[in-house]
Structure 1
Amino acid sequence: MNTQSRHLSVYIDRPVAQVYAFASDPANLPRWAPGLGSSVVREDGSWFVETPEGGVRVTFAPENEYGVLDHDVLTPSGETVYVPLRAIADGDGCEVVFTLRRSRGMSDEEFERDSALVTGDLALLKKVLEEGADT
């Protein structure tokens, strides 16, 4: 059981439907979450991301109208990490909220490092969507 969560968010000046469509496509992960991995492939209906630790399987929540982008990451060690992620309408734009969970045994330094990495990924998502013409 996790002992601590931190909600990290960013406002994106794009309609929630556009943000959801982009962020829910695993093929786009390297464009906005390079810390997760460098390349993404689809094999036998599943998405795999190449990470420094090896390939991980990423499974997003089924398509939905609520902006739920939750996903499971199956690590090379066999551990499944649940990642809560939401795109929430806010006027003409939206807020993307990532819930970072502190896993058992994670040091303060590791938790802060992960928090900084996620914050950077969210900032990149904002930049890609607000500046990108091909999203």
Structure 2
Amino acid sequence: MGLAQWKIESVTIERKADEVYEYASNPANFAEWAASFCRSVKRIGEEWRIETPEGEMTLRFAEPNPYGIMDHYVRSEGGPERPNHARVVASGSGSRVIFTVFQAKDPLDREYAVNGRNVKEDLQRLKRVLEGE
């Protein structure tokens, strides 16, 4: 089944894109800014584990890259890996963080609306953390 719907959430942050990318793509910082989804994060061996409202999951980010791609993937025990697509791009003297929220179910799905709202709140939290508010 193809993806039925998507929307973009974004935020402008008054920090250089490489600084935003370095912080936001580090799994150790995930709980600090993605608090609507991630309650805590820990590293076990080579794997990052996060505690979420849905239970414990693994977390991995795209390999470090010079393009600002900070896609991250979560997987519950025995479940499929779910992608979350995010980018950091330079914007004037600061940067813009762009997150694509996908929906694979009914367009009226309440979860889709909640996910979009949560992403928006998390991006605002990332802005506050990085701008020192």
TM-score bin, normalised by smaller chain: over 0.9
Q: Describe how 1:91-102 pairs up with structure 2 within 5 A.
A: 91-102=92-103
Deviations 1:37-96 (A, max 9, x none): 211011121111011322111110000000000011112351211110000011210000
Give the superposition deviation at 1:104: 2.3
**What do you get for the CA RMSD once the two structures are aligned?**
1.4
Give the superposition deviation at 1:35: 1.4
Give the superposition deviation at 1:109: 2.3
Bigger CA drift: 47-56 or 90-99? 47-56
Number of residue-to-residue matches in the alignment: 132
Q: Describe how 1:1-135 pairs up with structure 2 within 5 A.
A: 1-76=2-77, 78-105=79-106, 107-131=108-132
Give the superposition deviation at 1:106: 6.4
The answer on whether the counterparts of 2:3 and 2:103 sit within 8 Å (CA) in structure 1 is yes
Report SS of the residue matched to 1:66.
coil
Give the superposition deviation at 1:105: 4.2
Give the superposition deviation at 1:107: 3.6
The answer on whether the counterparts of 1:12 and 1:130 sit within 8 Å (CA) in structure 2 is yes
The answer on whether the counterparts of 1:36 and 1:49 sit within 8 Å (CA) in structure 2 is no
In structure 2, relative to structure 1, the CA distance for the partners of 1:52 and 1:131 (3 Å cut) is same
Identity %: 37
Distance 1:110 1:38 in 2: 19
Structure 2's unaligned 5+ residue stretches are none
Q: Counterpart amino acid of 2:67? A: Y
Distance 1:5 1:43 in 2: 33
Structure 1's unaligned 5+ residue stretches are none
Q: Once superposed, which parts of structure 1, at least 4 consecutive aligned residues long, lie more than 3 Å away?
A: 105-108
Report SS of the residue matched to 2:35.
coil
